[in-house]
Amino acid sequence: MYISRYMIREPLTATPDMSLPEARRLLNENHFRHLPVVDGQGQLVGMITDRDLRSAYPSSVLSESERLQAYERVEKTTVVDIMSTECVGLTPESTLDDALLLFDREGVGALPVLEDGQLVGIFSSRDLLTAYKELFGVGEKGSVLLGIDDDGQSGLMTRIVTLLELHNIPFTRLLRIQDMEHGNRIYLRLNTYKIASVVVLLREAGIHPAL
């Protein structure tokens, strides 16, 4: 699944010559944590975050006179002075898996989305969570995730599907996970409020829900 379905298109941006107070205002008023920085041609030149801005502002442990001097310096400081320039990005054709691996590797909360160097969007860790919630049916009405011990029975997944369809039990996802440490599992996303009846049905068929 491509990130283009979930990314924020035409995101708010900063320019290299924008003052830090202006960048801070943009982030605070729009409840964002990341701002791409672009030049006059829309080319990405950096990223600035709320963490960068917090680091630039004076500490509360300073004396009043020291804080005033520090604020005066901040007022004259521009985005280009503190932004990150080594930015890893995605393209609209990047997958959710691509984004997940980059978030894990880079330890960042948002990634710019680029086409030919042009900024076309931004994709955040929150967008990734939204995508995976939809992909795995989290929050759907009556949705519950049931684990089943995968003991290597021949045609086990086929038997599960056939049993559920025979009894008109709605389900939306079926995943097989290999786990050498805790045992292989099959995970079944059901849309029913009668989960106890489903467990009994599975057990009667020789299929063992995981405890």
Per-residue confidence (pLDDT) for residue 2, from 0 to 100: 94
Q: Cβ(94)–Cβ(88) under 8 Å?
A: no
φ, ψ of residue 46 to 5 degrees: the values are: 175, 180
User: What φ, ψ does residue 12 adopt, rounded to 5°?
Assistant: -65, 145
- pTM for this structure? 0.79
- Look at residue 144 and give its three-state secondary structure: strand
87: CATH: 3.10.580.10
Domain contains 209: no
Q: Are residues 8 and 40 in the same domain?
A: yes
Encode 95-116: b = buried (16+ Cβ within 10 Å), e = exposed.
ebebbeebbeeeebebbbbbee
Predicted confidence (pLDDT) per residue in 35-78, tens digit: 999 998 889 999 999 999 888 876 665 667 666 776 678 788 89
Domain that holds residue 179: 136-204
What is the CATH number for 195? Answer: 3.30.70.260
Q: Do residues 106 and 88 make contact, with C-beta atoms less than 8 angstroms apart?
A: yes
Residue 149's CB: how many other CB atoms inside 10 A?
16
In a domain, 210, yes or no: no
User: Is residue 89 in some structural domain?
Assistant: yes
Query: Do 45 and 120 fall within a single domain?
Result: yes
Q: Is the same domain home to 103 and 143?
A: no
